Amino acid sequence: MKQKNYRPDRQSGILVHPTSLPGPYGIGDLGKTAYEFIDFLKASGQTLWQCLPLGPTGFSNSPYQSYSAFAGQPLLISPELLIELNLLAPQDLDGMPYWNPYTVDFPKIVAFKTRLFKIAYENFCKGSYPSLQNMYNIFCEKTEFWLTDYVLFMSLKDFHNGKNWTEWEPEYKYLSDKNRKDVLEKLSSSVNYYRFIQFLFFKQWYELKSYANENGIEIIGDIPIFVSADSADVWANKNLFQLDEDGYPTVVAGVPPDYFSATGQLWGNPLYDWDEHKKDGYNWWTQRIRHQLSMTDIFRIDHFRGFEAYWATPNGEPTALNGHWVKGPGYDFFDHIMEAFDNDLPIIAEDLGIITPEVEELRDAYDLPGMRVLQFAFDDLNDNTHMPYNYVKNCVCYTGTHDNNTTRGWYRSASPESQDKARRYLSCNGENIHWDFIRLALSSTARYVIFPLQDVFGMDSDARMNVPGVSVGNWSWRFEKHFLNEGTADYLKQLSKLYGRNQKPTVSETVSEEVELS
């Protein structure tokens, strides 16, 4: 007899970015409170933790505008864990600023943690850490395909006082092999510092992921389809993007007018030169996905529809109104990617916005689950794909996403007609609309259900993570530890069990190697 390996057929979990976690250092990190959050997930009967992209962020603090598609966010490195490694001493934290427990002050936290990281690096360089040194050497060797480009880019960015790489001198903007070697030597201290910081991030992240997996929690990551113009990815791979001779994008990414904006959204990301990607079998994307799968168990591709067709707006336009649709790489891209991963990729396709039959056909051809958002189901009185009775099983139901209002905030600001529709559909009075939405999501036929942590807490609009089209005040939401209490965990566990979520079979199914006839 052969034993089958099982995983829950109906899973659910929570969306919260690690920066939002509680803790004493001004921003959520990969230390003690991250482990406690995993304990909360387990206690609440959940099996999924969804994060936003984990890369180093630039001036906007947006996880979707990162300096690298491969590197990790240094601000998530835990000072506590550095003290455990003797890279920091407790007194190094003396004079720590006061932190607002409900919001991240990014400029202040960058200054505070950079000081700590430099102390840790100096200690590493002058101390004796044989085991850590060996791990560091292995890390640098295994990540060479992206690490050197990233640390060179960040070192040169510091050398140019933070300027966009398009403003650097030509010898740095377009590095020859000789210049590359010279810069590595000239800026060796900075280069090695950035290498070390990435080592610390990935050491802490992989240890946290192992703890999550050991406790039955899978991590859902997030790949933005586009990368930031001011990134190591574009600087080091200019031929893969639509750029002019000075390195500026000729066209930029965005979307036409939609739910979030009457003039569309102008993201400003450079668009890919898909013909160049095709020449080497989409190797850059293959490496990106393989790296992502080392970090997470499942991943969401943000703006999946861009693979079928993407909105291209001439660079310099004030809005996205004058853009146009351009065909993407479509089936050729996914055929290559699926083949590289033996046709086994745990992808969630973010298929929100203007979705055509062609996008749906591309998604379904590879059996990728799409997204359904309950707030969209009740935004007007019309029938739509976000109504649970229209769900196919292979989808992910969200109460809301990181771009949405909280469910309580949505209900308070919704039209009377939408409020009435939600109350009648849910047979409720709206007082606990967040739990009503969570119950509806859990009871749906969707294979996966995800709800933002703010909805579990019943928080209002002031706990919103992001308002699309607004340039300030986003990505900074945090909460305090007492919200992760036993009562909330127990209630969520009972609801999940009631609706058949995250349940292992009580009797193991077995498959006979032989067919016996009686």
pLDDT in tens, the chain (518 residues): 233 334 678 999 999 999 999 999 999 999 999 999 999 999 999 999 999 999 999 888 999 999 999 999 999 999 999 999 999 999 999 999 999 999 999 999 999 999 999 999 999 999 899 999 999 999 999 999 999 999 999 999 999 999 999 999 999 999 998 999 999 999 999 999 999 999 999 999 999 999 999 999 999 999 999 999 999 999 999 999 999 999 999 999 999 987 778 888 899 999 999 999 999 999 999 999 999 999 999 999 999 999 999 999 999 999 999 999 999 999 999 999 999 999 999 999 999 988 999 999 999 999 999 999 999 999 989 999 999 999 999 999 999 999 999 999 999 999 999 999 999 999 999 999 999 999 999 999 999 999 999 999 999 999 999 998 787 889 999 999 999 999 999 999 999 999 999 997 544 333 333 333 32
- Which pLDDT belongs to residue 4? 35
Contact 241, 274 (CB under 8 A): no
Q: What is the DSSP letter of 50?
A: E
Tokens (6 digits) for 489: 């965990």
Instruction: Report the run of H or E that residue 204 belongs to, with start and end.
Output: helix 188-214
Give me the phi and psi of 130, to 5 degrees please. -60, -45
Short-list 65, 73, 71, 91, CA closest to 27:
73
Burial class (CB in 10 A: 0-12, 13-18, 19+), 439: middle
Domains of the chain: 1-219+485-518 (3.20.20.80), 237-363 (no CATH), 369-472 (no CATH)
Give the C-alpha separation, 216 to 280, whole Å.
Answer: 38
Question: Which residues are catalytic, by number?
Answer: 302, 350, 403
If phi > 0 it is left, if psi is from -120 to 50 it is alpha, else beta; for residue 95 that is left
* DSSP per position, 263-310: T-EEEEEEPB-HHHHHHTTSHHHHHHHHHHHHH-SEEEEETGGGGTEE
Please answer whether residues 219 and 300 qualify as being in contact, where contact means their C-beta atoms are separated by less than 8 angstroms: no
Q: Which residue has the tokens 């390195």?
A: 247
- The DSSP code for 461 is G
* Euclidean distance between CA atoms 78 and 63, whole angstroms: 18
Q: How far apart are CA 62 and CA 449, in angstroms?
A: 25
Q: What is the pLDDT of residue 7?
A: 62
Q: How many residues in the chain?
A: 518
Residue with tokens 């036993």: 486
pLDDT of res. 470: 82
Q: Tell me what pLDDT residue 28 has.
A: 98
Q: What is the pTM of this model?
A: 0.94
Q: Sign (positive/negative) of CA torsion 151, 155, 156, 157? A: positive
- Report DSSP state, residue 98: P
pLDDT for position 276: 98
Question: DSSP state, 249?
Answer: B
Question: So what's the pLDDT on residue 380?
Answer: 87
* 169 Cβ neighbours under 8 A, 6+ residues apart: none
